[in-house]
Amino acid sequence: MPDRTQAIHFAHQNQTRFLDEMKDLLSIPSVSTDPERIPDMQKAAEWLMVELKKRHCTNIQLMPTPKHPIVFAEFNCGDPSRPTVLVYGHYDVQPADPLELWQSAPFTPDIRKDYIFARGASDMKGQIIACLKAIESIQAVGEFPVNLKFLFEGEEEIGSPNLEPFIRSHVELLKCDMALNPDSGMIAADIPTVVYGLRGLAYFEIRLRGQTTDLHSGIWGGVVENPANVLASLIAGMKDADHRVTLPGFYDRVRSLTEKEKAEMSRLPMDEAYYLQSTGARALAGEKGYSWVELASTRPTLDVNGLYSGFTGEGSKTVIPCYAMAKVSMRLVPDQDPEEVRQSLVKYIEAHLPATMTCEVLIHAGNPASFTDLNTPGVKALEAALTTVYGKQPVFKREGGSIPVVLHMKRLLGAESILTGFGLPDDNLHAPNEHLNLPNWFRGIDTLIHFFYNLVK
């Protein structure tokens, strides 16, 4: 029996234990944006270090950054002529709020039918565990075919502020032939997917201040301008009735889709019904002149992610607030530049801000879009692995999300990222009741076993 068949057999025999280990990691509330979760961030990182030790890694390190540490490790297969794969992952998760909308506690993993429910199940602790368990399954039955490095960061959900400097200052340590990045996903449980393009992200916080204090809306209403009203007007003016962003020059650098790309996208099984069902939206809405799948992956966006002003409690309070805040982010496509987008936003605000207000624009993230070359050995190995496990050719698609590390890997290490992952579109990423489809996750482990074997002819 060839090694790979034995490894797959091992994986199948150990599914229950693999699941228990995923539960362990999901139970740690490693929310990177929350200062109170710093001890849990440490705990999640240490959990991974113990696991890497079991995977026979060497040089396992918890490497500090100005915020959350990076877990690094190496595995030497004994043959330096074999390729080196850098496995990327992030052990941080999004905040779980609003808590009251969860049907089970976000950090108490709960299996219901074919799904495990927990914050981070799909994005992306489950994906990290799938990689580690694929590696374990191969190691359990014979020699591991390639060299490995591991880079697990703790800041992906806050825009990876320290990742680029870290990679830049550890180029030699991180040197590799390709990166395996399982932070992507599949279109559907029966459609194996290879992702080759990602949108970028520019994320801002707009803070408007009017007077120095909240004022009584009866006594002063009519003469004092209201920052919440002004903020609403600013946001409203950022898009026109056709859902196009109005910030000056916003579309100047947007690359048009080629006819070939348009044809490829039209073959994806992602029509209006798909988006309606996946999102629970009553109706879709988007920029005119593009198909839904084009809009969701190849066109830039502008979304309010958060709004706050004045009195938001139960009942009423008759104030003119002195402060209003909006978190506003744009998904970027080739060749938009995050810094140019920031300048455009600032210019727009300056042009429309009344003399009654001051405005501050904070930057939470700024990453351009990225592309992967489809003709590399890594992509070919993944394509073959997916074909074997799912019994059909994968589809190739661009994705709407942002994975800044893909860009850094290419620019700083010269490494293409192989984008995979076994989450599904309705996993409720970043939302209450995040979950992961377990049958697909087990197929994911099988796929990754094939992938590693496929890298060596």
Interaction between residue 399 and a copy of itself (CB under 8 A): yes
Residues 200-239 that bind a copy of itself (CB under 8 A): 201, 203, 205, 210-226, 228-229, 231-233, 235-237, 239
User: For a copy of itself, which is the closer residue by CB, 137 or 329?
Assistant: 329
Q: Which of residues 251-280 bind a copy of itself (CB under 8 A)?
A: 275, 278-280
Q: Give residues 10-39 in contact with a copy of itself (rule: CB under 8 A).
A: 33-35
CA distance 273 to 192: 20
* Closer of 61 and 356 to a copy of itself (Cβ): 356
Q: Which of the residues 36 through 95 are near a copy of itself (CB under 8 A)?
A: 94-95
Per CB under 8 A, does 364 bind a copy of itself? Answer: yes
Does 283 interact with a copy of itself (rule: CB under 8 A)? yes
Residue number with CB closer to a copy of itself (263 or 284): 284
Structure tokens at 256: 């048009």
SS3 31: strand
Question: How near is the Cβ of 355 to a copy of itself at its closest, in Å?
Answer: 4
Among 147, 367, 372, 402, binds a copy of itself (CB under 8 A): 402
Work out whether 355 is an interface residue with a copy of itself (CB under 8 A): yes
Selected binder of a copy of itself within 304, 360, 373, 456 (CB under 8 A):
304
Cβ atoms 155, 90 nearer than 8 A: yes
State yes or no: residue 327 binds a copy of itself (CB under 8 A). yes
DSSP notation for 130-184: HHHHHHHHHHHHS---SEEEEEEES-GGGT-TTHHHHHHTTHHHH--SEEEE---
Distances (CA, A) of 7 to 13, 56, 82, 138, 395: 10, 17, 20, 5, 26
The whole-angstrom separation of Cα 20 and Cα 298 is: 38
Touching a copy of itself, residues 100-129 (CB under 8 A): 101
Quote the crossing angle between the two packed helices 126-141 and 3-13, to the nearest 10°: 130
CB 40 within 8 A of CB 31: yes
Stretch that binds a copy of itself, among 50-58, 134-142, 306-314, 341-349 (CB under 8 A): 306-314
Helix, strand, or coil (residue 36): helix
Report 125-154 residues binding a copy of itself (CB under 8 A): none
Measure CA of the first residue to CA of the last residue in the chain; give whole Å.
Answer: 18
Among residues 7, 8, 116, 357, which is the contact residue for a copy of itself, using CB under 8 A? 357
Among positive and negative, which fits the CA dihedral 36, 93, 132, 167? Answer: negative
CB-nearer residue toward a copy of itself: 1 or 285: 285
Answer for which of 24, 264, 287, 337 binds a copy of itself (CB under 8 A) is 287
Instruction: Please tell me whether residue 401 binds a copy of itself under the rule CB under 8 A.
Output: yes
Span interacting with a copy of itself, options 53-61, 252-260, 281-289, 380-388, rule CB under 8 A: 281-289
Closer by beta carbon to a copy of itself, 119 or else 149: 119
What is the per-residue DSSP string for 67-129? SS-EEEEEE--S-TTS-EEEEEEE--B----SGGG-SS-TTS-EEETTEEESTTIIIIIHHHH
Closest CB 154 distance from a copy of itself, rounded Å: 13
Closest distance to a copy of itself from the beta carbon of 222 (Å): 4
Binding flag, residue 360, a copy of itself (CB under 8 A): no
Under rule CB under 8 A, residue 282 binds a copy of itself: yes
Interatomic CA distance for residues 67 and 88, integer angstroms: 18
User: In angstroms, how far apart are the furthest CA atoms of the chain?
Assistant: 85
CB closer to a copy of itself, 79 vs 271: 271
**Stretches 37-45, 108-116, 284-292, 408-416: which one binds a copy of itself (CB under 8 A)?**
284-292
**Please, what is the Cα angle at 310 between 308 and 311, to 5 degrees?**
105
* 319 interacts with a copy of itself by CB under 8 A: yes
> For the chain, what is the radius of gyration of the CA atoms?
23
CB atoms within 10 A of CB 13: 11
